[in-house]
Amino acid sequence: MTLPTMQPVELSINGPAAVTLAHIRVSDEAQGIVASLPADQYLDTLIQQRLRADAVRFIAAWLPPREALWYGILGVWQSYRLLNQPGAKEVLEKLAHYVNHPTQAGLAALGSPRDLMNDSSTMGQLSQAALYTGNNICSYPGRTIKPEPTLVGRMVGLALISAAGKWPGQDQGACLDQFVVMGLDIAEGKHSYAQKTMQKLPGLRIKKKLPDLQEKASDFLGEEACDFFGTAPGGRASGNAWEDWVI
């Protein structure tokens, strides 16, 4: 049975950005933007001001928990497949399976709440995001501590920023740019974990194309990026290497 937090959530881009901002920390520059703006306009302002990390945090917090977790998985995988860190692929595969089959058994397969909560690494942050979709984060028998679902997006944002910091090379800003584009796509219901079940979302994108975010994802990720989740059906029309990944 699908866990309640992973059920579809009705979203609106017309509500004030302040609703999302209440659950995350943003930079001083981002705090200077009027929080009463609609969510899509606020995000567009972040992008235009090149506040990449704030934009990633905002998208992750705006998305429903299931889509937010998927966003984190796709983003973190971009960095960690290049680092070839032992055990990372196995963790991401378990997380991806959980997103596609969000049951208590799938969540338990990630590890004990105590172990997950004590892991401050990027993978630990992403696993904690998954933990917060469940009904109990307490490891002690007979005790229940129900997590706040808004923590899912917050932890996903932290994991993505951490992953970008580990991007090999000098241009970590380009990595964040790709995360922003990916997040905008996911906010429109693209790059689904399962085409038949992913809910339709209203989207946060104001402009169809952002002139300063035009780096080709194929150059950024490499041709083997889709091997992790399988071959994308029908090709990748948009050129995004993560488009239509399937499990």
CA distance 42 to 32: 11
What single-letter amino acid sits at 36? S
Per-residue model confidence (pLDDT) at position 16: 94
Of 224, 223, 217, 222, nearest in space to 238 by CA = 217
Q: Determine the average pLDDT of the residues in 147-156.
A: 94
pTM (global) more than 0.85 = no
Mean pLDDT lowest for which of 81-95, 123-137, 185-199, 218-232? Answer: 218-232
CA distance 76 to 88: 10
- The angle at the Cα of 228, spanning 158 to 222, to the nearest 5 degrees, equals 85
- The domain limits of the chain are 9-228
Residue range 8-27, pLDDT digits in tens:
888 777 889 999 999 999 99
Residue 236 has pLDDT above 80, yes or no: no
